Chains A and B, each alone.
Chain A
Amino acid sequence: MMASSYNAKEEDGHHSGASSGTGLSKNKKPDNTAFKQQRLPAWQPILTAGSVLPAFFVIGLIFIPIGIGLYVTSNNIKEFEIDYTGVSSDSPCYNCAKNFTWNTTEPCVCTVNFTLLQPFESNVFMYYGLSNFYQNHRRYVKSRDDRQLNGDLSALTDPSKECEPYRKSGDVSIAPCGAIANSLFNDTLVLYYVDSNNSKIEVPLVKKGIAWWTDKHVKFRNPAGNSNLTLAFRDTAKPVNWAKPVYELDPSDPDNNGFINEDFIVWMRTAALPTFRKLYRIIQKKSGTTPTLPNGNYMLNITYNYPVLSFDGRKRMILSTISWMGGKNPFLGIAYITVGSICFFLGVVLLIIHHKYDNRNTSADIPS
């Protein structure tokens, strides 16, 4: 209601509209400020050819070199991938895959031979990859207890309800609880270089420095109170599908044992998509000009502990070098080149349209 109340006798004064209060008791007239009268100073942009066309051309001209740079960088990354699930009967791990049971005490070992055609320079990263493994399933993702993993003592013996059904084993709490921890990847991969004399040289694999710094030092902490982890975890049970309890993940190194074991941390960082890779080991670069992994024959020794065939999953080992844009992924390069070219082409099309139709626009009269 924009009413302005006034006495009938005073109406003349208000008919002029601009007068201020003429000594009335209540003047409901809104203030004549820029804010209330909607006259605030403002920037009013419109889409003109002078702004749109240069923008399209500039974007096209920027994107194409970026795309080429990304594509070339991605092509220069060397990557080698080998699937060792053992699906077909002529693959080396077929027997291990077929004969898998949960009760085996004898680990099944299989060996895969492969050849690297090109030498790998600088740091080489060894990954294990899984396919058709839904680490992003909702029930799976919430099946963990972050307080327990942070070393909270009360959560150690009384884990969160989200971990069900992997919360207690009998009457004893499971540490670490939950489905994510329970399905920890436990294949062991060892890499050997086969030189010209057919002698196997083990490639040194570094197992630390594979998890995020914030995960290793902030999010995951061992329960305090004892430097002896066996004592710290004495009132807990190991997860159902683990062969060893959590304090025996790496007894040789107390900085990599218990909850802060880096393989465990890497696994607990759940992947977003059903096909993923996780960092397993790092092969440090050698000093001088020696390539880290010279080309030639290699042997991969696999202790096959992890069953994936029941849900039609696949396991693979990946060796990859790294660049400033990460691993080998040509998508961004191709996408930038495509978008840049389309942009440039669209700019040309819009320029033609603008030339043909702009005269019509500027001289067009507004019909009354």
Chain B
Amino acid sequence: MCPEAAEEPSVFKSRVGLFWLKKTETMQDEKVDGDYGLIINGHSLAFALEKNLRLELLRTACMCQTVICCRVTPLQKAQVVQLVKKYKQAVTLAIGDGANDVSMIKVAHIGVGISGQEGMQAVLSSDFSFAQFRYLQRLLLVHGRWSYIRMCKFLGYFFYKNFTFTLVQFWYAFFCGFSAQTVYEDWFITFYNMVYTALPVLGMCLFDQDVNDRWSLYHPQLYAPGQKNQYFNKKAFVNCVMHSCYSSLILFFIPWASMHDTVRDDGKEIADYQSFALLAQTCLLIVVYTQLCLDTYYWTAVNHFFVWGSMVAYFSITLTMCSNGMFYMFTSSFPFIGTTRNSLNQPNVWLTIFLTFLLCILPVVAFRFIFIQLRPTINDKVRYKMRTEELPVPAPRRLRRRHSTRSGYAFSHSQGYGDLVTSRKFLMKRSTKRAPLFTQTDSSIFQNQPQHYRTIAEEAEESQGHSP
């Protein structure tokens, strides 16, 4: 299989995680010189899962395209999954429909239960469940992929908007004697995450799709970025922080330079603390909303309503808080009276806002455009194709009605494994020889016959040693 491979399987110890705290042992993948498959039944697996052989089993199994373990006990199913989880640092998915699959479903990272012939036990212990095995394709390629993309976009955007918000305060500290004076109004700080930027992010995370479901199924390669964790990792986080730093520098220093020693068009004050706060927070919100608009790829009516509604809400809430009525009612709470009326009617305030907005957004647009031109990802290509081409009509699916449907494809059992369970082989104790209850023609352990494996090319003389 692998001529240059080492004799003994080896594990590679390392530390992973956010601060490299978690210790792991990983078995490396090895190059194989062909396509192989492995079929192993429960009795053999009992030996193969012993401590001295399990790494060899894993190594061999990982060199194969497919591994079939037949007639295994529920505990062995779980043990196989656990073996892969521990030594391969991979995300595992287990799908099953019966009560015997429950332990496997629970052990895997993602457990999928099929509700059907075998009852509801698998469903009750699973993370996802559906009625037919073929829905697994949709679960992974459409919903799983969308979920990953939405989660990564949400995280990236959330960190961006909060870092930008906070770093502007940091730059202001250099100009207020490090006295922790906030550059924004107190009410704005309260409402920023709760009201102004809450709903637009929610809209993006609920509805966003980069390609629609039919194209997702047609191009399964789109699933690869999720497997490689490309959209939110340490590098993406550092990018996000640097983007926030740049945005915050623009969002503070452009208003600072523009308001430095300036006055209104009738000579009165505009560089006071309240007007500066209003200018800084308006710039911040407009930039943050536009960044969200650039991140949203799927604009439903709900998204439109959330984004434009939040912007309108910001202006109306701010105008209300600076109005005479609120000041008369709660004098100490709303000291910003008159600020919007006196500063937002100045052309140089709006020119500053426009300049800040463009300086923050244009580099993002330019970068994304350059990357689409020079290094288009699969996503970019499919999205471009989606716009210009029509999806080929899918072949009509034959509806197959089967009265006795077996729904477990990876694991099957026909004669039962009572002997194996009672033999206690997998508990790694020697068993006593017992007369078989049923004639077993496929287990060489009891019959002392060597296993005869055939390749696919050979004709099967009689069905022996294969899973039905």
Contact = CB atoms under 8 A, between A and B. Distances in A.
B259 A125 contact: no
Given A137-B179, A335-B257, 12 more contacts: A17-B132, A41-B300, A44-B383, A146-B332, A146-B335, A147-B331, A276-B271, A279-B263, A322-B266, A325-B347, A327-B262, A357-B374
Interface string A334-368: 01100100010010001001100110011010111
17 contacts: A46-B380, A52-B365, A55-B365, A56-B366, A70-B351, A129-B261, A135-B273, A136-B176, A137-B179, A212-B342, A272-B259, A277-B263, A320-B263, A326-B262, A331-B257, A354-B373, A357-B374
B358 A339 contact: yes
A364 B272 contact: no
B269 A278 contact: yes
Contacts of A276: 261, 271
Interface in B256-282: 256-277
Interface string A1-45: 111111010011011110000000000000000000010111111
B401 A15 contact: yes
Nearest to B211: A44
Given A2-B130, A47-B368, A273-B256, A136 B261 contact: no
Interface stretch (B5-13, B115-123, B449-457): B115-123
Interface of A: 1-6, 8, 11-12, 14-17, 38, 40-49, 52, 55-56, 59, 66, 70, 123, 125, 127, 129, 134-139, 141, 145-147, 150, 152, 160, 210-215, 218-219, 266, 269-279, 282, 320, 322-327, 329, 331-332, 335-336, 339, 343, 346, 350, 353-354, 357-358, 361-362, 364, 366-368
Given A270-B273, A324-B347, A279 B369 contact: no
Contacts of A123: 267
Given A17-B132, A41-B300, A214-B338, A269 B327 contact: no
Given A326-B263, A329-B260, A366-B382, A141 B370 contact: no
Question: B116, B257, B373 — which one has the most chain A CB atoms within 10 A of its CB?
Answer: B373
Contacts of B409: none
Contact of A269 (B131, B272, B373): B272
B384 A327 contact: no
Contacts of A141: 181, 273
Nearest to B126: A1
B198 to A, nearest CB: 20
Interface of B: 115-117, 120, 123, 126, 128-132, 135, 146, 175-177, 179-181, 207, 209, 213, 219, 221, 254, 256-277, 297-303, 324, 327, 331-332, 335, 337-338, 341-342, 346-348, 351-352, 355, 358-359, 362, 365-366, 368-370, 372-374, 376, 378, 380-387, 399, 401, 403, 405
Contact of B299 (A45, A278, A279): A45
Given A40-B300, A322-B263, A279 B372 contact: no
Contacts of B268: 210-212, 279
A353 B373 contact: yes
A324 to B, nearest CB: 5
Nearest to B180: A138
B284 to A, nearest CB: 15
A343 B362 contact: yes
Given A8-B117, A46-B387, A350-B370, A269 B265 contact: no
Contact of B301 (A40, A219, A325, A368): A40
Nearest to B280: A272
B346 A218 contact: no
Contacts of A350: 366, 369-370, 373
A271 B177 CA distance: 13
A326 B301 contact: no
A124 B275 CA distance: 23
Given A325-B348, A368-B221, A3 B123 contact: yes
Contacts of B267: 123, 125, 210, 279, 282, 320, 322, 327
A4 B370 contact: no
A331 B253 CA distance: 11
B430 to A, nearest CB: 42
Contact of A353 (B264, B370, B403): B370
